[in-house]
Amino acid sequence: MHWFYELQEQMTVEELLREEWGLGKKIVHELRMAKGVTHDEAPVADWKATLPKGTVLRFDWPDSDSPYTADADTAITVLFEDEHFLIARKPKGMNTHPNEPGETGTFINAVIGYLVENGHSYGEHIHRLDQGTSGLVIVAKHPAAKNIADRMLEKKLISRNYEAIVNGSVRPAEGVIDEPIGNDRHHATRRRVSPNGQAAVTHYRTIRKENNGNTRLHLTLETGRTHQIRVHLAHIGNPIVGDELYGAEPEMDGTYALHAYRVSFVHPFTHAKVVVEDPIQL
């Protein structure tokens, strides 16, 4: 695959790859060996030569494969796609990725099936959602995009917003839950607020009170701990409706009311603001 990138200031190819994008040594080496960078005038032989602002670089990226089995029989809803990223909806009840080699039926298997049908061979999720959570997941379509997006996630440059319906009234109506999260030694898969856990910060805001006395919230993550929203809301006494693992009464269909409805970030290659929303009725 190939794409073009216009330098935003004067710099060398080496500076762009290592400092601006923060690519790892392996990826940079593969690109160098493939002679995968050219510009307007000629092939870039010297990666240390300073190029002027506005220089258009062409990247010819070697084909890469993902370790996941393609599942072409499972349809997915794609809400954004370009040559670098794909953003699609993960349904409730589906794992984001396989938990063991050869496993199929997950979101990323369906994404790979979609990509293969459209002439691509690589796809890696940037973040994950719990099996019972529906919503938007960002997928990188080549290794450089994966590398850069991982770094953006670490630096909190990707915003993720959720909607949830919780039991009861939430007081105060908006706020920040800043409580560390660790493993629950009494349950293999459950997490809990623990002074020895990892730092976790969740912002919440009440949208409205439901007719049945429950509360609809919008939430934003500063961190991405396992079950973070579920743990934090249960900790303040307002577990998500249907989330039996964290103290709520189970729903008839076994699901719980949490949906990742919005993601946003500044595109690292085009510098455009990307905002994708997927509001659904919980």
In 3-state terms, what secondary structure has residue 128?
A: coil
Tell me the chain's radius of gyration from C-alpha atoms.
21
Phi then psi for residue 36, to 5 deg, are -90, 5
Residues 6+ apart with CB under 8 A from 139: 85, 86, 87, 88, 108, 111, 123, 124, 125, 126
Judge whether 46 counts as a catalytic residue. no
Tokens coding 214: 């429950």
Residues 6+ apart with CB under 8 A from 66: 108, 112, 121, 122, 123, 124
In 3-state terms, what secondary structure has residue 26?
A: helix
Residue 276 CA to residue 21 CA, distance in Å, equals: 23
Which residue is catalytic, options 130, 178, 253, 278?
Answer: 130
Known catalytic residues are: 130
